[in-house]
């Protein structure tokens, strides 16, 4: 039996610390990858030659009544390779980008799952003990009751299909990462279906709505709103702007890496932004120190605060999209990003420049953001079209006698006969 020793390539020039080995499972005849748990090549080779290879050779000749789990226990004792449920997330996050703002969301989702398992299935301690029925029970609870772990902001709210799919994404990713070192176990999340997402596009704010928002006095949200309108940045990226990323005196540019896709953006700083940034106290790494602390603690806090502003101004921000658990949001803080695109397009900025400013990977996505024309804008653009009407042929002020006078005798007789036939059919006379 052949065994290949190697180190895993995790991408971005990141190589695994420990050595792995690959062989063909004598039962299923599929390729199996496992970790030696050894960072030294010599120790890894010694483990393979003295323990793993001899064991596999014996099993290869006696596989009739052997099960894969038996092979696992023989090759590597369970106490050296099993991962506890609480420890699984740290292993998963180690592979994520360090500047990812979604990490706090991942932590909340996984902690919610831990709370559920500790109450409902407290005897299940390790990842390889979790089965599909555990996950089915958890997602059934989420769908019917919302999060298992309640707090002040997310107490009894039901979850939308999008949020349920966020839970699905995180759990599947954690299982994939932690079980990849044990190829004998399949990902139990493979049997959990994602929810159908009812797609509803966000809308940009109208001129009247944005004036109301800007006139609303909220010292926490106001500077963030102005930055969003003038840059198109996402809420998280605004909260994480550092003083080192600003050049207010020289180039007057913002240079930052977006949290969503890690793209480098360079944005001009206009006079409005200079006033906004200049009004902040330079006492910490972040320009908006308070907002950064709030956002890092819970990204939803500021988003919900903005929604409360919209509600207080009676600005419609949700519609029924067929999801019985939750209405779809059509206007929120992200709509300011759409508004920036609309304003940029209406002032003649080319689409490729807008795409670069927004950090979009797709031109089509940028065009979607730009496609939010208001009723007044549509009317204004409509006036540019040629006006084809019948005024050049028939003057509306002319009366019926004038029209008849323009007809010759033959045409009048034909018209009279046609009208007479219609009246006879209807029971009248002419």
Q: What pLDDT sits at residue 283? A: 87
124 pLDDT more than 70: yes
Identity of the highest mean pLDDT range in 46-55, 142-151, 288-297: 288-297
> If we measure between CA atoms, which residue out of 126, 131, 70, 357 comes closest to residue 234?
357
Find out whether 159 and 190 touch, Cβ atoms under 8 Å: no
Q: What is the pLDDT of residue 321?
A: 61
For β-strands 31-35 and 264-268, DSSP reports them as unpaired
Q: Does position 195 have pLDDT exceeding 90, yes or no?
A: no
Q: How far apart are CA 162 and CA 28, in angstroms?
A: 37
pLDDT of residue 426: 52
* Domains annotated on the chain, with CATH: 4-81 (no CATH), 85-191 (no CATH), 207-381 (1.10.443.10), 392-425 (no CATH)
Element holding 383 (H helix, E strand):
none
The answer to which of 43-57, 100-114, 192-206, 400-414 has the lowest mean pLDDT is: 400-414
Q: Are 106 and 89 in contact (CB under 8 A)?
A: yes
Query: What one-character DSSP code corresponds to residue 252?
Result: -
Which of 373, 350, 372 is closest to 363 using CA atoms?
Answer: 350
Name the range with the highest mean pLDDT among 151-155, 199-203, 319-323.
Answer: 199-203
Determine the pLDDT at residue 309: 93
**In this predicted structure, which of 90-94, 252-256, 283-287, 388-392 has the lowest mean pLDDT?**
388-392
Give the C-alpha separation, 255 to 101, whole Å: 18
Query: How far is it, in rounded angstroms, from Cα 263 to Cα 257?
Result: 5
Binning pLDDT at 50, 70 and 90, where does residue 76 land?
very low
Name the β-bridge partners of 15: 9
pLDDT tens-digit map of 29-45: 667 777 888 888 888 88
Q: What percent of the chain has pLDDT over 90?
A: 25
DSSP per-residue codes, 97-141: -TT-TTHHHHHHHHHHHHHHHHHH-TT--BGGG--HHHHHHHHHH
Which residues lie below 8 Å from residue 288, measured CB to CB, with a gap of 6+? 223, 224, 238, 239, 241, 280
Among 98-107, 292-301, 340-349, where is mean pLDDT lowest?
98-107
The span from the CA of 247 to the CA of 208, in Å, is: 33
Q: pLDDT per residue over 225-261, tens digit each?
A: 999 999 999 999 999 999 999 988 888 899 988 887 7
User: What is the model's pLDDT at position 250?
Assistant: 85
Position 165 pLDDT exceeds 80: yes
pLDDT of residue 101: 55
The stretch 55-64 carries a mean pLDDT of: 56
pLDDT reading at 223 higher than 80: yes
Q: What is the pLDDT of residue 257?
A: 87
- Between 153 and 14, the more confident residue is 14
pLDDT (0 to 100) of residue 243: 94
pLDDT single digits (tens) 332-379: 898 898 888 888 888 888 888 888 888 877 777 777 766 665 555 556
157, 146 Cβ separation under 8 angstroms: yes
Torsion angle (degrees, nearest 10) of CA 125, 129, 133, 135: 60
Q: pLDDT at position 366, please? A: 74
Rounded Cα–Cα distance for residues 380 and 339 (Å): 18
């Amino acid at each position: 039996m052949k065994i290949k020793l190697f180190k895993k390539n995790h991408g971005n020039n990141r190589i695994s610390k420990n050595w792995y080995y690959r062989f063909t499972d004598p039962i299923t005849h599929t390729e199996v990858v496992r970790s030696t748990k050894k960072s030294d090549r010599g120790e890894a080779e010694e483990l393979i030659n003295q323990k793993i290879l001899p064991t596999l050779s014996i099993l290869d000749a006696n596989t009739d009544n052997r099960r894969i789990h038996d092979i696992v226990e023989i090759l590597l004792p369970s106490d050296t390779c099993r991962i506890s449920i609480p420890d699984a997330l740290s292993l998963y996050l180690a592979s994520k980008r360090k500047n990812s703002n979604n990490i706090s969301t991942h932590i909340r989702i996984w902690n919610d799952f831990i709370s559920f398992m500790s109450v409902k299935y407290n005897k299940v301690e390790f990842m390889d003990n979790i089965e599909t029925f555990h996950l089915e029970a958890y997602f059934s609870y989420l769908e019917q009751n919302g999060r298992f772990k309640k707090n002040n902001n997310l107490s009894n709210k039901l979850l939308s299909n999008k949020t349920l799919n966020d839970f699905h994404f995180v759990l599947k990713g954690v299982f994939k990462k932690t079980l990849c070192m044990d190829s004998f176990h399949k990902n139990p999340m493979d049997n959990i279906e994602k929810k159908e997402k009812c797609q509803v596009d966000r809308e940009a704010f109208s001129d009247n709505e944005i004036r109301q928002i800007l006139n609303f006095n909220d010292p926490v949200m106001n500077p963030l709103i102005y930055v969003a309108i003038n840059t198109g940045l996402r809420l998280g990226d605004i909260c994480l702007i550092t003083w080192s990323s600003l050049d207010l005196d020289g180039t007057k540019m913002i240079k930052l890496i977006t949290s969503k896709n890690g793209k480098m953006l360079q944005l001009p700083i206009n006079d409005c932004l200079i006033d906004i940034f200049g009004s902040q106290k330079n006492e910490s790494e972040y320009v908006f120190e308070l907002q950064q602390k709030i956002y890092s603690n819970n990204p939803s806090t500021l988003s919900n605060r903005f929604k409360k502003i919209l509600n207080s101004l009676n600005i419609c921000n949700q519609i029924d999209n067929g999801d019985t658990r939750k209405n779809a949001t059509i206007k929120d803080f992200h709509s300011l990003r759409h508004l920036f695109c609309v304003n940029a397009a209406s002032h003649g900025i080319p689409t490729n420049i807008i795409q670069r400013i927004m950090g979009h990977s797709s031109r089509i996505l940028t065009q979607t953001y730009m496609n939010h024309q208001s009723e007044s804008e549509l009317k204004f653009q409509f006036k540019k079209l040629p006006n084809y009407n019948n005024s050049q042929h028939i003057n509306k002020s002319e009366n019926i006698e004038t029209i008849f006078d323009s007809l010759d005798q033959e045409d009048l007789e034909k018209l009279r006969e046609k009208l007479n036939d219609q009246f006879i059919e209807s029971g009248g006379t002419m």
